[in-house]
Amino acid sequence: MFAATNGNGSIVHGQITLQVSLASRLHNDVHGEVKINYNVLNSTANRLASAMLNRIKDHFRSPPNTDGDYIVAVCMHPTDRLVTTLLAIWKAGAAYLPIDPTFPPNRIQHILGEAKPALVVYDDDYDNAAIFGKTPAISYAELRKRASDLSNANIRPEAMLGKGDAQLGLVLYTSGSTGVPKGVRLNHETILNRLQWQWSRFPYTATERIGVFKTALTFVDSVSEIWGPLLNGMAIVVVPKKITNNPEKLVDLLERYRIERLVLVPTLLRSLLLYLPLQQQQQQPLSGSKLLYCLRIWVCSGEPLQISLAREFFDYFQEGVHQLCNFYGSTEVMGDVTYFVCESKKQLEGYEKVPIGYPLDNTIIYIMSPDLNPVRTEEIGELYVAGLNLAEGYVNGRDPDRFIDNPL
């Protein structure tokens, strides 16, 4: 058994609004040349939340799905408007459910039919709104229009759709690679436990002003990319997929904004490590510094991190200055449940694979036998997770055998 605790692991949902309002003088979002400060973000989100509440309460007097959750689906590409909409959904007391605008119709219909959101908010240029069927839906422009004459004050707790510290904050549908896609239900306590661990273990530095939101909203890593910086009064730069998939453009963006940390899959890391040395040779480095030298924290997740790739990382980046982190987990455990931090090649000696490391705060890792007993040292078993990073379960109570009572 492996355990980690932190006495401040439980944070109530109301602190999201508090953190946003405290940082009222800072830029929060950059998309191209668009900049929005926290005051504008907060007031716009409050108006949108009021408009959402009016629209939802016109259609429903109780949650429309079997789990008792109020959910607002978001079918939008990554922009400053998306971030504002997500905050508005939370302010209204609902959970947000990302739907990628490029999803095929049958996938969208499956998600809507199972999760039964109370509302869908979609991009103004989305040309397939008919796919939402009987689910109430509204474009972002129409929502802004309805919100324009509403109050910009914070929503009163009694007016919110969901109440209490354990209210649902997010529903993420798995890829369906092993079967029919399943919706993972994550509450605010779980989300904020993951974020607070991040702030404690990898605190932002005095020089760190901007974070990167580049992961698709349908993937759990987007949660820490968006809310990690925003709840610390920092800015975020919204990166389109066409830049993420182009090493040259991505490196240029990371350099331009002096980004100090990045979350990426090992496949993308490998592409960057192929590009960086070649590009470095073609330019005259200033003061001897390498490209992306300021990017000191590299977090790999989503795929196994190979020893060979980790060694290549330290062939380019300086040992003792840059960190290569291996995060392990799944959507069902808020993306990450264990972590390993490597600062030199020496730490990799004796390993055939990069270790998955230690549990996050307020999380317990068990290695158990088929009869649910802890295995002995050097025995093989299955990994089980307990603690605050665990999801509430699946939408519609599917696959209850994946979430069991702790036998220990």
pLDDT tens digits for 350-405? 998 999 999 999 999 999 999 999 999 989 999 999 999 999 999 999 988 899 99
Strand ranges of the sheet holding 261-264, from the earlier edge strand across to the other edge? 261-264, 297-300, 323-328, 338-342, 358-359
Q: Dihedral (C-alpha) 272, 273, 277, 280: value to the nearest 10 degrees?
A: 40
Rounded to whole angstroms, the Cα distance separating 71 from 94 reads: 5
Is position 404 within any domain?
Answer: no
Task: Give the total number of structural domains in the chain.
Answer: 1
CATH number of the domain enclosing 111 = 3.40.50.12780
Rounded to whole angstroms, the Cα distance separating 238 from 240 reads: 7
What number is the average pLDDT over the span 57-85? 91
Output the pLDDT for position 41: 87
Please provide residue 368's backbone torsions phi and psi, each rounded to the nearest 5 degrees: -125, 155
Output the pLDDT for position 32: 55
pTM: predicted TM-score of the whole model, two decimal places: 0.91
Output the pLDDT for position 280: 77
Please provide residue 382's backbone torsions phi and psi, each rounded to the nearest 5 degrees: -105, 145
Is position 144 within any domain?
Answer: yes
User: Which residue range(s) make up the domain with 110?
Assistant: 32-201
Is position 174 within any domain?
Answer: yes
| Alpha-helical regions (H) of 202-265 | 221-230, 241-244, 247-256
Is position 52 within any domain?
Answer: yes
Is position 283 within any domain?
Answer: no
Output the pLDDT for position 175: 79
CB of 385 within 8 A of CB of 365?
Answer: yes
Is position 236 within any domain?
Answer: no
Predicted confidence band at 287 (pLDDT cuts at 50, 70, 90)? very low
Is position 51 within any domain?
Answer: yes
**pLDDT, the chain, mean:** 88
State yes or no: pLDDT of 7 exceeds 60. Answer: no
Output the pLDDT for position 206: 93
Is position 8 within any domain?
Answer: no
State yes or no: pLDDT of 276 exceeds 50. Answer: yes
CB of 359 within 8 A of CB of 366?
Answer: no
